[in-house]
Homo-oligomer: A and B are copies of this chain.
Amino acid sequence: MKTNQKSTRVKDAYTAIKVAIRSNQIPAGFQATEAEFATRLGMSRTPVREALIRLEAEGLVEMIQRRGARVLPIRTEDMREIYDILMTLEPEAAANLAVRNISQAQLEPLAQATTEMESALAQDEPEIWAEADDRFHMMLLDMSDNRRLRNFVRSLHDQAHRARMITLRLRSDLTQSTREHREIMRHIIDGEADAVRALYRQHRARSSSEILRILDTYRLVPL
């Protein structure tokens, strides 16, 4: 219990708003004054303001001159930006793992996540699949010893999250995507860095183009 979690209003506000955005409880495009956010959260403007500043730095919110804060929508263009970066960074991070001689045991949490993805697919539970998928990528990233890389990629995932969830049930590549996780792990264990990089990149490229295609086709997530 000594988790050192001295909850502060700023943190509460930050977390509450972030969760609400992720889950679409506060929809993209929603705009409100600082005072409104504050009232809603039952605190004064000050902590809310500071939380909003952080959320703005993370690209989830935009503060507009005299009209408060606006929950940023994710457009196709944004997703393209995000995936272009992920397609570069994540494969490289994974390839580095291959070089480091990772044991199968160390990858066990990843294998676990992948297993969950498989069973989620079997039971047609895409949300659970998505959660495990995210976990896979994040755990893999956490094994990288580059804190800046971790934080940045995490922030990109956060930004992309809503769009991913919206497109989830329209995707046809989930099975393929899951299978690739196994391949990537195998090549990491075998220390084949180039193969890991290529595979991971392909993995991201596929899901990226699938998601972008869906967004474009249905013109989803506009505002």
Binding site for B on A (CB under 8 A): 49-50, 53-54, 57-59, 81-82, 84-85, 88-89, 92, 146-149, 152, 156
Contacts and interface: CB of A to CB of B under 8 A. Distances in A.
Contacts of A88: 88-89, 92
Contacts of A49: 50
A212 B92 CA distance: 20
B147 A81 contact: yes
Contact of A148 (B57, B85, B92): B85
Contact of A89 (B54, B82, B85, B156): B85
Contacts of A148: 59, 81-82, 85, 156
Contacts of A89: 85, 88-89
A54 B56 CA distance: 9
A78 to B, nearest CB: 8
Contacts of A50: 49-50, 53
| Chain A residues touching B, majority SS | helix
A81 B149 contact: yes
Nearest to A147: B81
A81 to B, nearest CB: 5
Contacts of A147: 81
Contacts of A85: 89, 146, 148-149, 152
Contacts of A59: 148
Given A59-B148, A82-B148, A85-B149, 17 more contacts: A49-B50, A50-B50, A50-B53, A53-B54, A54-B57, A57-B57, A81-B146, A81-B147, A81-B149, A84-B146, A84-B149, A85-B146, A85-B152, A88-B92, A89-B89, A148-B156, A152-B152
A64 B194 CA distance: 42
7 contacts: A49-B50, A50-B50, A57-B57, A57-B58, A59-B148, A84-B149, A85-B149
Contacts of A53: 50, 53-54
Contacts of A92: 88
A49 B124 CA distance: 48
A57 B146 CA distance: 16
A170 B142 CA distance: 35
